[in-house]
């Protein structure tokens, strides 16, 4: 059966981390499907571009099917809209599966017909053009391909985020795959250093436990690591 997948199901009412979360350094928010960094403003069209790099993680085997998505996007954190692109790393029916994709909610993902593998260096950019059009770019620097898509998007553009996610399959949030560790670097919002802050950091909770934990921002405040589990990873240099 062809199952519809949604990568950007926004964290439902991102909450203060005072409940149920006891990591060594308290995050600014938590969700049952997102972890990473999210920044927001109140003014419409505050964000006109977002970009960044990450290395595709390798997932570990699991007895049950498990899923993970690394991506960056605009909107979704404080509103139901979202434009995004990223990579998928799942362990399904006894084997690891990797592929790139893009998505605009409320539509499900669209797979990109290019290969990705663990340890590939990825670059992504989403940028507003004219006349309500946006440019989506996803490039595999290791394998040498570049995907580009120009598409309409009408979201408020008040949020920007760099996320590790447990995606939704048939409208149900999945079990997060053990992705090990991932680094997001050279993050940019509106072509500038976003100056990430600890309060922008969010952890993922599933079945009452923390399953994905980002580090504090790197020294330049434009990078971070995320790791499977509740232990906060080392801050990148």
pLDDT of residue 1: 29
- Give the pLDDT band of residue 197 (cuts 50, 70, 90): very high
pLDDT of residue 130: 87
Distances in Å between the Cα of 139 and the Cα atoms of 30, 85, 116, 182 are: 29, 10, 10, 17
pTM of the shown model: 0.92
Please enumerate in sequence order all residues whose Cβ is within 8 A of that of 35, keeping only pairs 6 or more positions apart, or say none: 163, 164, 165, 202, 203, 204, 212, 213, 214, 226
Q: Tell me the per-residue pLDDT of 40-59, one tens digit each, with 9 for 90 and over.
A: 999 999 999 999 999 999 99
Distances in Å between the Cα of 93 and the Cα atoms of 2, 20, 97 are: 14, 32, 10
Burial letters for 131-161: b for 16+ Cβ neighbours within 10 Å, e otherwise?
eeebebbbbbeeeeeebeeeeebebbbbbbb
Lowest mean pLDDT among 21-30, 93-102, 114-123: 21-30
Segments making up each domain of the chain, as ranges: 5-228
CATH topology of domain 5-228: Jelly Rolls (2.60.120)
């Amino acid at each position: 059966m062809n199952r519809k997948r949604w990568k950007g199901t926004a964290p439902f009412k991102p909450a203060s981390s005072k409940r149920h979360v006891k990591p060594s350094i308290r995050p600014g928010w938590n969700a049952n499907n997102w972890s990473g960094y999210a920044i927001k403003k109140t003014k419409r069209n505050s964000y006109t571009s977002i970009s960044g790099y990450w290395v595709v993680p390798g997932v570990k085997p699991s007895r049950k099917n498990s899923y993970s998505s690394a991506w960056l996007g605009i909107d979704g954190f404080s509103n139901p809209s979202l434009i995004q692109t990223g990579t998928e790393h799942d362990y399904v029916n006894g084997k690891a599966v990797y592929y790139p994709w893009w998505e605009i909610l409320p539509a499900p993902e669209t797979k990109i017909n290019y290969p990705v593998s663990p340890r590939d260096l990825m670059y992504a950019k989403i940028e507003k053009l004219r006349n309500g059009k946006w440019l989506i770019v996803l490039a595999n620097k290791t394998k040498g391909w570049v995907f580009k898509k120009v598409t309409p998007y009408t979201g408020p553009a008040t949020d920007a985020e760099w996320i590790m996610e447990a995606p939704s399959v048939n409208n149900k949030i999945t079990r997060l795959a053990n992705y090990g560790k991932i680094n997001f670097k050279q993050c940019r919002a509106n072509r500038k250093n976003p100056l990430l802050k600890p309060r922008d950091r969010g952890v993922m909770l599933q079945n009452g436990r923390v399953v994905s934990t980002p580090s504090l921002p790197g020294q330049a405040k434009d990078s971070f690591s995320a790791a499977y589990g509740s232990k906060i990873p080392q801050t990148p240099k």
